[in-house]
Structure 1
Amino acid sequence: MNTSLEITPLIGWHKSAGANLADFGGFNMPLWYETGVKNEHLAVLKSAGIFDTSHMACINVIGNDSFELINYCFTRNINTLKKGCCIYGAFLNTNGHCIDDAIVYKFSDDFFMICVNAGMGATIAHHLDANKASLDVCIEDLTKKVGKMDIQGINSARILSKVLQNPDIVFNKMPYFSFKGNFDESALGESMVKLLDGTPVLLSRSGYTGEFGFEIFINPDAIVKLWEDILIAGEEFKIAACGLGSRDSLRAGACLPLSHQDIGNWKFLNHPWDFALPYTEDKKSFTKKFIGADSLLSGSNDQFIYPFVGDSLRKVSTGNNTHAIDKNDDIIGKVLTCATDMGISWYKGNIVSINSKNLPRDLKIKGISCGFVIVSTKLEPGMTLTLKEGKRSINATIVTDIRPDRTARKKLNNFI
């Protein structure tokens, strides 16, 4: 094991549970447990799973000009962001390349929190500081000061109701991408959310799987107990501890990008996540000024990112050695992500999910490979490519979305 790797407060639990550990973003993280990636993936789609996400970092931005700074540095227009809500977007450099994607949480007009990816706390905090000029803003990097775990799946609220004080109040009026509470009891919270033992948490109705669930921010000293309490509370629902393997396959099936892999050192354009840019209605300009906007609007961009699905669960590796080949046998790009969503299958020319309604009883869902390609030419949905890695190749179809009938956006009342 590389002893230079960072660890989360749950490392002892992971080791005792027999997790397969590996380097992810400089952290020693579980890839899977004895249950295996397939079963962990399916647990989230059928019931619930928990993920250690304490490798991610948070940044507080506080002060009279906090809105102005974030709105200039962040791609999304947060002018209409309400208190108690959060929003996904990206931080770009002046070339229009993505430094990192992130979620911004609004506590008040002068208090925001930003959640970024592993090892990116100092980078984004420095980026904000470098652009604040004379603005009245305090930027606080909370790296290693916040514990975080996610619970995802249709039984998430039912399980959490066993460990929260006043769950009926907590879950009342909590739409997708809203949050309540704060892990810092001395700070301002939209409303206080506490565990049964009185520990304060920030509970966000969001996640990285495409399925109904929550992200939980908590004092690092309290996260092991919460993790174990949730596992006990979820026993009747067959909850599973899940590693990064299933996290990757779930997010790929949900058509969600991995920062520094699917979005990275190229212009933040021509991809499935255009909603993260503040386009005008005609998509010829933006509704606000932000870092990188001029570069995105000027010059040509000859790279395009598309989601794809394979014809079976077989997959290929990613990177420069795996080529995307068109019908003329020309190499037009490479594979950014390729994972197997074990909860989907082809049925009568369409993709269906284990959560799709009115499926034939005899239909066996075995999984389909899916992910993203970056290519040098525009493609249309339904077009086919060959993804080739040495002597191994798979057939892939370009799509606009991947796993159907996802539950993330459905009303919370469906899951109580």
Structure 2
Amino acid sequence: MQTTVKRTPLNSWHRSQGANMANFGGYDMPLWYSSVKDEHLAVLNGAGVFDTSHMAGVTVAGSGAADLLQYCFTNDLDACMGRSKKPLSPGRCVYGAFLDENGQTIDDAIVFYVAADSYMVVVNAGMGGAVADHLRHNLGGRDATVTDLSDQLGKMDIQGPAAAKILGGVLADPKAVFTGIPYFSFKGHFDPASPLADAVRLDDGTPILLSRTGYTGEFGFEIFLAPDKIQRLWERLLEAGRSYDIKPCGLAARDSLRAGAVLPLSHQDIGHWPFINHPWPFALPFTADQTGFTKDFIGRTALEKQTDFSFTHAFVGKDLRKISAGENSRVIDADGQTIGTVLTCATDMGIGLHDGDIFSVASPDKPEGFKAKGLCCGFVKVDRKLSVGQNVDIADNRRKITVSIVDDVRPHRTARKPMADML
């Protein structure tokens, strides 16, 4: 059975620019334009724009919306903001996942608290229907309306230290927009049925929802707007960012950047195994002592009763060489025993080793004359808990390389930097 490949509103633009295209999540998407390395480094040094209209949105509204999400979503909406674990409030968003009864991942997501009794959930390509159905199936009499907005939203990201400087040039009131917008917050409210409500506006009057989030580990924004408005904004940002060497970026740079930022790819780094024992414990509602959970949620019982443990760890190599991840990969311990598989293996081309320490092209303390040669990095899933600093081999049918288990990869990432530092 042949499935029709979908196209984003920017598809013709990508093809007119000679982008290398491929099917990703059922969408015809650009992998790269000039080169993956150039696009990766553009985000670390200046800015890059990404077409993310393949992502899906789901709205949840009604007096029972919060309770429905609290039951279906892993993070605790009543205790998820900052170190003090304050409740999610309007204008803020939070990362987590939707699990099945076995504690396995349906999809990861970001929940946006738009207003009282109104939420937007952003999920991965092709997952809007599945997540919407999961929410509806678990309504349990709650007063909530779940709407799948797949292919109704235009979405693009601008990422990199120059993102605000560039974006400010096309906003109607950049000073007001950039005041009071910390990491994982947003302004505006874009709804296809009511696109003018509480919107941030571009200087041509176009309403947008502007979120200070992204998938690169670097400072930047995600922008939601009407699909028929996205190409004009895309082209304007590329023009406005010319002096900052802005580049259109494809999925390959998105993958290498997110791997260096220790961010998972759904259905690859998280998937059909229990959503626990991984580098993203903040997505689960752990108690302060990490021995239990603060709320009930779908999958909780399975996670609490889990006995066949697997562990997901981040790793980094000594150079840019990679192996092919997947079922045919192997993780090999010091005794030569295969203990797991490789989930992701990418090359962060903005980092390198010097005297055993990792530096980034953006590191303020990088050694004089430092040049980033690139390091492979990613995630392994193994049958035992490994320690930070422990070496293992990863292998495919071509090569075997030694990597170290780490709790972080690319240093001096800018995603959390204060807005004032980036203007």
TM-score range for the pair, normalised by the shorter chain length: over 0.9
- Name the amino acid aligned to 2:304: L
Residue 397 of structure 2 corresponds to residue 377 of structure 1: no
- How many Å separate the matches in 2 of 1:27 and 1:42? 25
**Shift in Å at residue 283 of structure 1?**
1.4
SS at structure 2 position matched to 1:184: coil
**Shift in Å at residue 362 of structure 1?**
1.9
Name the structure 2 match of 1:70.
Answer: 69
Name the structure 2 match of 1:32.
Answer: 32
- How many Å separate the matches in 2 of 1:363 and 1:410? 23
- How many Å separate the matches in 1 of 2:229 and 2:306? 50
Name the structure 2 match of 1:53.
Answer: 52
- How many Å separate the matches in 2 of 1:311 and 1:299? 35
Give the root-mean-square deviation of aligned CA atoms. Answer: 1.3
SS at structure 2 position matched to 1:382: coil
**Shift in Å at residue 94 of structure 1?**
0.3
SS at structure 2 position matched to 1:201: strand
Q: Contact (CA 8 Å) 2:152, 2:192: kept in 1 or not? A: no
Name the structure 2 match of 1:260.
Answer: 267
- Name the amino acid aligned to 2:15: K
- How many Å separate the matches in 2 of 1:6 and 1:188? 24
Name the structure 2 match of 1:156.
Answer: 163
Moved more, 178-187 or 251-260: 178-187
Q: Report 1:261-280 matches (<5 A).
A: 261-280=268-287
Q: Contact (CA 8 Å) 2:361, 2:371: kept in 1 or not? A: no
Name the structure 1 match of 2:200.
Answer: 193
- Name the amino acid aligned to 1:49: G
Q: Contact (CA 8 Å) 2:190, 2:197: kept in 1 or not? A: no
Name the structure 2 match of 1:146.
Answer: 153
Change (3 A) 1:55 1:335: same
Change (3 A) 1:209 1:190: farther
- How many Å separate the matches in 2 of 1:4 and 1:188? 29
Residue 8 of structure 2 corresponds to residue 8 of structure 1: yes
- Name the amino acid aligned to 2:51: D
Q: Report 1:226-241 matches (<5 A).
A: 226-241=233-248
Change (3 A) 1:410 1:91: same
Residue 111 of structure 2 corresponds to residue 104 of structure 1: yes
Q: Contact (CA 8 Å) 1:267, 1:301: kept in 2 or not? A: no
**Shift in Å at residue 15 of structure 1?**
0.2
Q: Contact (CA 8 Å) 2:114, 2:189: kept in 1 or not? A: no
Change (3 A) 1:383 1:16: same
Cα deviation, 1:58-97, whole Å, max 9, x if unaligned, reads 0110101100000100000112001000000000000000
**Shift in Å at residue 302 of structure 1?**
2.1
Name the structure 2 match of 1:184.
Answer: 191
- How many Å separate the matches in 1 of 2:209 and 2:77? 20
**Shift in Å at residue 361 of structure 1?**
2.2
Cα deviation, 1:91-139, whole Å, max 9, x if unaligned, reads 0000000000000000122000000000000000000000002111111
**Shift in Å at residue 352 of structure 1?**
1.1
**Shift in Å at residue 360 of structure 1?**
2.1
The count of corresponding residues between Structure 1 and Structure 2 is 414
Name the structure 1 match of 2:120.
Answer: 113
- How many Å separate the matches in 1 of 2:271 and 2:369? 42
**Shift in Å at residue 313 of structure 1?**
0.4
SS at structure 1 position matched to 2:254: helix
Cα deviation, 1:347-370, whole Å, max 9, x if unaligned, reads 121111111112222222111000
Q: Contact (CA 8 Å) 1:181, 1:189: kept in 2 or not? A: no
SS at structure 2 position matched to 1:414: helix
**Shift in Å at residue 282 of structure 1?**
1.8
Unaligned runs of 5+ in 1: none
Moved more, 283-292 or 41-50: 283-292
SS at structure 2 position matched to 1:83: coil
- How many Å separate the matches in 1 of 2:398 and 2:215? 33
Q: Contact (CA 8 Å) 2:94, 2:112: kept in 1 or not? A: yes
Cα deviation, 1:169-204, whole Å, max 9, x if unaligned, reads 000010000000122386498943001111100000
- Name the amino acid aligned to 2:279: P
Residue 376 of structure 2 corresponds to residue 400 of structure 1: no
Length-normalised TM-score, structure 2: 0.96
Q: Contact (CA 8 Å) 2:42, 2:48: kept in 1 or not? A: yes
Residue 328 of structure 2 corresponds to residue 329 of structure 1: no
